Amino acid sequence: EAQVTQNPRYLITVTGKKLTVTCSQNMNHEYMSWYRQDPGLGLRQIYYSMNVEVTDKGDVPEGYKVSRKEKRNFPLILESPSPNQTSLYFCASSLSRPGGVTGELFFGEGSRLTVL
Amino acid sequence: RKEVEQDPGPFNVPEGATVAFNCTYSNSASQSFFWYRQDCRKEPKLLMSVYSSGNEDGRFTAQLNRASQYISLLIRDSKLSDSATYLCVVIRDDKIIFGKGTRLHILP
């Protein structure tokens, strides 16, 4: 079954304790992306990756890191989480096309993170 | 001005009615357009692509107006299960830009 898998789905942590949210897709998609969703603010892109070893900042990259060592995995790292990073996080993947992406995104089920 | 704008709603519509909402985009270089649906606390899912010639899928019709830079979604014979947030998505090169969504409530 084609899918994007995120873990953990729910996490409560404390300020400053490093955490990683994993994302894996089994569709051989080149493009992967992380979003956070907050009430009234919609989906905001954190980082995206057009392919292995290629990552770029989205609209709200501060406080986050990513890596793309393999095509299927795109982990999101919070080196020192703060309460303003409490949010619902989505990973997504898509095929690429020449010059860009197709826009047909497949999303993971989301990871709800609370930072105390 | 935001690159993609939607009326946040909520649109409260009786079951069986027809409802339509628009999404405007500001960058004329935008290339591809989509509607996504998101249920409460769930992940967004692709509803349909949007073309200038129009695209129909059952009770749903999507249309692109490049001259006026907007896309539309029409839902006919609305069902309770259509209650959700509808997200407009615009593609420009490698940028995927989401609108904030329009909330739709179908009332019994």
Cross-chain Cβ contact A45/B94 below 8 Å: no
C-alpha distances out from residue B32 to A19, B96, B98, Å: 35, 9, 12
pLDDT number for residue A49: 95
From B41's Cα to the closest Cα of chain A, the distance in A is 8
Evaluate the omega torsion of the peptide bond into residue A8 and state whether it is cis, within 30 degrees of 0: yes
pLDDT over 90 (residue B36):
yes
Mean pLDDT of chain A: 95
CA distances from B22 to A18, A43, B49 (A): 42, 18, 14
Distance from CA of A79 to the nearest CA of B (A): 25
Q: What is the largest CA-CA distance in chain A?
A: 43
∠ at Cα A20 (A14, A26), nearest 5°? Answer: 150
Of B43, B96, B99, the CB nearest to A103: B96
Count each helix (H run) and each strand (E run) in chain A, helices first: 0, 13
pLDDT of residue A83: 97
With CA atoms as reference, report the closest residue to A43 among A84, A90, A85.
A90
pLDDT tens per residue, range B38-57: 999 899 999 999 988 889 99
Structure tokens at A31: 């493009």
Q: What is the pLDDT of residues B46-90, one digit of tens each?
A: 999 998 888 999 999 999 999 999 999 999 999 999 999 999 999
A57 Cα to chain B: minimum distance (Å): 11
Closest partner residue to B99 (CB to CB) among A42, A88, A107 is A42
Chain B partners within 8 Å of A35 (Cβ):
98
